[in-house]
Structure 1
Amino acid sequence: MYQALEGSHNMNHDDHGISINKVTYDENAYLSLKATGKLTHNDYEKFNPELDSALADAKDAKIKAVIDTTELEGFEPRAMWDDLKLGLKHRNEFEKVAIYGNKNWQKTAAKIGAWFVTGEVQYFENKNDAIDWLNK
């Protein structure tokens, strides 16, 4: 069962950006994020209010998130800085973050990102393993 957040957008093959949804798997609620293409500063300008809204809905609850990077091609330099600032801003709000992708550099980026989040962060090569880990 998927429930899209207001303001989320779908991207076609040529697009880039970050989408966010509230998702339920086996009665457990998560934030589901998908990064596509080469992310830009403008992508973060659009995404940050959506994430802020989703996290505000959770109030004091610790959030579990799954991030799909299978279509992520990279970051422009300013977008890398935006990603770091975003992690620092919300560093205490995540209990677990499962990232899945298909490129070695994504695994390295996930390890670096884990330094900036107080919750657990793990990288996986497929969605099922990521979801299973979140349910533990």
Structure 2
Amino acid sequence: MNTIRHGMSIGVERIEDEILFTLKVQGKLTHQDYQHIVPMLESAIKGIDHPHINFYVDATELEGWELRAAWDDLKLGLSHGNEFAKIAIYGNKKWQEYAAKIGTWFISGEARFFESMDEALSWLREEKQPLW
């Protein structure tokens, strides 16, 4: 008998206009998962004029998305893409690296793939340096 494992852990930390959203996924993301993720994110940014979101995804146990969940992910990027400063995807599969690169098309910030949790979290903590 095969056991299908699915679950997620979500964390939200808000300090003024700065938000750290963490997500650890096990199994395949579903439409129902996005029914939980999106309201939590929207609640965290409610009342902030210019939110600055750093997003950490532990995808080491992620197996992919259901088709409808992939559509939900695209809608999330299109509706809140200007609010994402950095998205760090910690994973262990080549397709996850490609997903991070594609993700940059839908957000104003950066998305990067990491094979090290420590490197991913360090990158999220780095301050953005002014261009001048």
TM-score band w.r.t. shorter chain: 0.7 to 0.9
Q: What residue ranges of structure 1 are gaps of 5+ in the alignment?
A: 1-12
Structure 2 match to 1:82: 72
Identity of aligned residues (%): 50
Q: CA deviation at 1:50?
A: 1.2
CA contact (8 A) 2:34 2:72 kept: yes
Report if the CA contact (8 A) 1:20-1:51 is conserved: no
Give the structure with higher Rg (CA).
2
Residues in 2 aligned to 1:34 and 1:23: alpha-carbon distance in whole angstroms = 15
Matched, 1:55 2:58: no
CA RMSD of aligned residues (A): 2.1
Specify the SS of the correspondent of 1:90.
helix
Question: TM-score, normalised on structure 2?
Answer: 0.80
Match of 1:43 in 2: 33
How big is each residue's C-alpha offset from its partner over 1:85-136, in whole Å with a ceiling of 9 and x where there is no partner? 1111110111111111011111111111111010111110111000111122
Q: Structure 2 CA distance, aligned partners of 1:57 and 1:71? A: 34
CA–CA distance in 1 between the matches of 2:33 and 2:51? Answer: 26
Unaligned runs of 5+ residues in structure 2 are: 127-132
Say how many residue pairs are matched: 120
Task: Please report the TM-score for the alignment, with normalisation by the length of structure 1.
Answer: 0.78
